[in-house]
A = this chain, B = another copy of it.
Amino acid sequence: MENKPQRIDLHNFIEEISKGNSSFLSRAITLGESTLSLHRNQFRDLLAELIPNSGSSIRIGITGTPGAGKSTLIESLGTYLIEKHQKKVAVLAVDPSSELNHGSILGDKTRMELLSRSKQAFIRPSPSKSNLGGVTQNTREAVYLCEAAGYDIILIETVGVGQSETAVHSMVDFFMMLQIVGGGDDLQAIKRGIYEHIDLLVVHKADQDKINQASHEAANFKKMFALFPPKESQWNPVAMTCSSKENKGISELWKMVVNYVEQTQNSGYFEKKRAAQNIKWHLELQQDQLKRFLEENPKLNQGISLINQEVEQEELTPLEASKRLEKLLLKLFPNT
């Protein structure tokens, strides 16, 4: 009986998280990452209580290829926000490959040394799941919890590749991309269609000796952005230079985010986007729930185990197994 999953003290969790207790915040996020229905149900109850206190932060997505300096930028920006604007900053990550790669993103808090020592900051590595859907859902829910715990700014880091980028875009208010000065892969990125999604492009590592080149590159991006069709947000993507190492461009970057938030809150787009993201979250929850419903049916499970054994022993081909499963499903769940 020792391994029986324990019920959490819901009331205690709500109270501690609302006080900003980061250790309870961490534990709550871990509970949400569980695949057990008991845990997921408890988590759902907890979240339902806390969600009314969420929603007041600014959610910022940060993407860029490995080496673009996402961690150093987050370190600089986070420290700046805490020191100059008295903000509380949470850093989350979406990296579906983190299990395979032993947590390449944020696995190492030492990459954000200053920030990880600050009491005003909360840093959480990417959930280790093998599928992007699970990672996305957990991160989205972690955002609400962080907000309920009083964090004003949520920074969500992701690797600059395809689907995880799209996932992060679907949960943030503002999306920025870092590109290293001299990276020269602008054409590749256009081809990959990423620029359509960003609100800000940062030509990063624009240190003293590279500032001219960086300014030139940023100017080229601006020209390119001017050719894009207008976005629904009516915000024209901006390009700017930044050096996290020399701490240059950070306050300008923040000003840009504030401008964006003001403009889109005035136009109503900010709320509209959040409502759409809420529906997206609902649909993700639904998919997950449908999947778990079947997975946790004992008779179905038993039948599937038998089928799987026969496939493993090469007594059944995958296609024969598929026909067997079809029959089993119809038997267990006759059309109602």
Contacts and interface: CB of A to CB of B under 8 A. Distances in A.
Contacts of A319: 44, 47-48, 51, 285
A245 interface: no
A27 interface: no
B48 A96 contact: no
Closest 8 CB pairs of A and B: A282-B318, A97-B162, A161-B161, A101-B193, A48-B319, A66-B188, A282-B311, A333-B333
Interface string A292-331: 0110011100001001100110100111111101100100
Nearest to A160: B161
B44 A279 contact: no
Contact of A192 (B66, B96, B131, B285): B66
Interface in A102-141: 102, 104, 131-133
A190 to B, nearest CB: 10
A173 to B, nearest CB: 18
Interface in A153-168: 159, 161-164, 166
A97 B188 CA distance: 14
Contact of A162 (B100, B192, B311, B318): B100
A259 to B, nearest CB: 28
Contacts of A193: 97, 100-102, 104
B325 A289 contact: yes
A192 B308 contact: no
A30 interface: no
10 contacts: A48-B320, A97-B163, A101-B191, A278-B311, A282-B311, A282-B321, A286-B304, A293-B294, A298-B335, A332-B333
